Amino acid sequence: MNIKNANNKIFTPTETTLMVATIIISTFIVAIIFALYFNDHQAKVLAVILAIVGILMGYVVCLQIRQTRRFAEQAAELVEVNEQMRKLAKIPNENPNPILRVDRDGLILYANHASQSLLNCWQSQEGGYLPDDLRQRLTDIVHSSVEIETICNERIFQLTFMPIEEMDYLNVYGRDITERKRIRLELYQLNAELEERVKQRTAELEAANNELKDFAYIVSHDLKAPLRGISQLANWLVKDYASAFDEEGKQMVALLINRVTRMDNLINGILQYSRVGRLKGRDEPVNLEILIKQIIDSLSPPTSIEIIIEPALPTVIGDKTQLEELFQNLLSNAIKFMDKPQGHITVGCIDEGTYWKFMVADNGPGIEEKYHQKIFQIFQTLTPRDVRESTGIGLSLVKKIVESYHGRVWLESTVGQGTTFFFTWLK
């Protein structure tokens, strides 16, 4: 158990045991003296006196032990604090970065070993002053830390001045950022060089594209004149010398006219394709419901094919001529390749928030998945031209028009059931 004294201090069990033992010994001594030498009254008085003396002696002994223990604990704590202070005092000197302490006048109160290169550069030391340019900045550093870059012996240091308001001085933490600056400069130079190369390559690519477009336009335009002459000559032969040809000769002349017509269609397709990038008209609001009805009228589909225009087609912004070419190619392909007795073609649109998603669906023969990308390439057809006449430019033209307006085009198809072409158009 623990016993408390008058000051509410707790005695340890050892202290309590020693005090009780002292009282017992004192009482025993009183009893012996009482029995051997004194009468009853004297024995009682002496016993009381000796008991009080014994109690006081036990209490004094306990206090002495407690004081001794307290002194020992304080000495151990002092040793531990001194060790911690010694370790803390070593931290700044062991730090590889400069650490200084300066007062408000720029007087250097402390500098660790790593600060020596700065001190040498400043021609200063502990007890000396910071350079004038840094001292002038100290007046601006009041409540928050400030970072300042300085150059010493071709090395760049970043100094962080941190005010300690209660002590009216500043701690200065330095860091050598030379390598970081060098790397940043190299990255900046590399980015600048890369941007310059990209600009140069872009300019070269644009020039090459323009030359290619001009070449395609000029060549196609120049080819039409001799081709027209061949066509006229073939037609004259048929009209003026029809009786001179046998059946095989007539077939050969007809084949010649057919090939001339195909070549003329190809040239027109190339001109049309090159014109998309070269001659873009004025963007304007285009009512697609009206435009598509006009296109259907111009195509004059057979009565066996029904074309449905879903309600509420939007008005979009774009070149009206190119939008007409876009829908005309999609609809004419659906009509041309229809293989069902009763054909159905649907034109619709879905609002996707920032853009419109258009679709042209048919119940035609469908397209195998392996051809889904090929059909958008120029001059590519899925059937021989002798079986079904086609230039192979229509869908590539559709793709080029859509992409020129930052959209995309794709298709979904099931062989034997039909095909749906999709494309997006920004609002």
What's the pLDDT tens digit per position in 367-402? 999 888 888 886 666 555 454 555 567 888 899 899
Q: Model-level pTM greater than 0.85?
A: no
Q: Decide: residue 322, CB within 10 A, 0-12 exposed, 13-18 middle, 19+ buried.
A: buried
Q: What's the mean per-residue pLDDT of the chain? A: 80
pLDDT at 29: 67
4-18, 113-127, 152-166, 325-339: the lowest-pLDDT one = 4-18
Is the model's pLDDT at 417 over the cut of 90? yes
**Are 349 and 313 within 8 A, CB to CB?**
yes
Whether 23 and 51 have beta carbons less than 8 Å apart is answered as yes
Taking 50 as the threshold, does the pLDDT of residue 416 lie above it? yes
Which one is predicted more confidently, 83 or 310? 310
**Token representation of residue 391:** 């230039």
Asked whether residue 85 carries a pLDDT value surpassing 60, the answer given is no
Average pLDDT over every residue of 402-421 = 93
**Six-digit token pair at 55?**
């109690």
Name which residue leads in pLDDT, 192 or 37.
192
CA dist 296 and 301 (Å) reads 7
- pLDDT for residue 5: 46
> Which is higher by pLDDT, 128 or 31?
128
Q: 151 or 72: which carries more pLDDT confidence?
A: 151
For 144, list phi and psi in degrees, rounded to 5.
Answer: -120, 160
Q: What is the 3-state secondary structure (H, E, C) of 274-325?
A: HHHHHCCCCCEEEEHHHHHHHHHHHHCCCCCEEEEECCCCCEEEECHHHHHH
Q: What share of the chain in percent tops pLDDT 90?
A: 32
Question: Model confidence at 55, in pLDDT bands (50, 70, 90)?
Answer: low
Which pairs with CB-CB distance under 8 Å and at least 24 residues apart come from 291-297? Answer: 291/320, 291/323, 291/324, 291/327, 292/327, 292/331, 292/347, 294/324, 295/324, 295/327, 295/328, 295/331, 296/331
- High-pLDDT (> 70) share of the chain, %: 72
Over residues 97-123, mean pLDDT: 90
